Structure 1
């Protein structure tokens, strides 16, 4: 649940900035915007078939990419591999674990989506 709030906060803040200053910035508009965002998310979640499975597929692909694969790759790219061999090995190990996790998670999510479509 905390990740939902963290994800939606920038969206809500951007929408709140669109409110004209003549109406004034009040908590009522903030609550209205955030409530509309939650309700719209709920409607999308209930109307899209296999929403949870699609989200797990996206999560397994993108979360592993952002958290385990890209940071060590960027670190090695920035330092131009001028780091001790132990750090290079740890970065490569982290990338390998992230890649394997992403492949298994994506396979699991895709197989569940296909299974749900067949039944």
Structure 2
């Protein structure tokens, strides 16, 4: 979408440019996936470590940080539980991806 917004306004109504940009992005992703070894495993490593951080850990941590004294014991314990589940899941996912990468290298 960012690349499509760079198209001048007199050409913005043409869908041909959008199709060409999207096709080029898909082809470049395909080339990167074929050239880089273990691309899927590297993406699994990045996803397992960062996805849990962004979806589970940071929202609860920010919520607790913003509403320091206003959260009840139940809310604090639920946020702590979600953060713990996020950290454990991230650790297992990262360990699994790293072990598969090491296994492929050996």
TM-score under structure 1 length normalisation = 0.85
2:90 is matched with 102
Task: Give 1:16 shift.
Answer: 1.2
Paired residues for 1:88-99 under 5 Å: 88-99=76-87
Runs of 4+ aligned residues of structure 1 deviating over 4 Å after TM superposition are none
Task: Give 1:19 shift.
Answer: 2.0
Unaligned runs of 5+ in 2: none
Q: What CA distance in whole angstroms lies between the structure 2 residues aligned with 1:39 and 1:80?
A: 48
Q: CA 1:81/1:45 → structure 2, altered by over 3 Å: closer, same or farther?
A: farther
TM-score under structure 2 length normalisation = 0.95
How many residue pairs end up in the alignment? Answer: 105
Alpha-carbon RMSD across the aligned residues, in angstroms, is 1.0
Q: Does 1:79 align with 2:67?
A: yes
Q: Does 1:58 align with 2:46?
A: yes
Task: Give 1:92 shift.
Answer: 0.2
Q: What CA distance in whole angstroms lies between the structure 2 residues aligned with 1:14 and 1:83?
A: 39
Q: Does 1:37 align with 2:59?
A: no
Counterpart of 2:6 (choices 18, 23, 35) is 18
Q: CA 1:62/1:84 → structure 2, altered by over 3 Å: closer, same or farther?
A: same
Q: What CA distance in whole angstroms lies between the structure 2 residues aligned with 1:81 and 1:55?
A: 39
1:5 is matched with none
Are the aligned partners of 1:81 and 1:88 in contact in 2 as well (CA < 8 Å)? no
* 3-state SS, counterpart of residue 70 of structure 2: coil
Q: What CA distance in whole angstroms lies between the structure 1 residues aligned with 2:2 and 2:69?
A: 39
* 3-state SS, counterpart of residue 80 of structure 1: coil
Unaligned runs of 5+ in 1: 1-12
* 3-state SS, counterpart of residue 83 of structure 1: coil
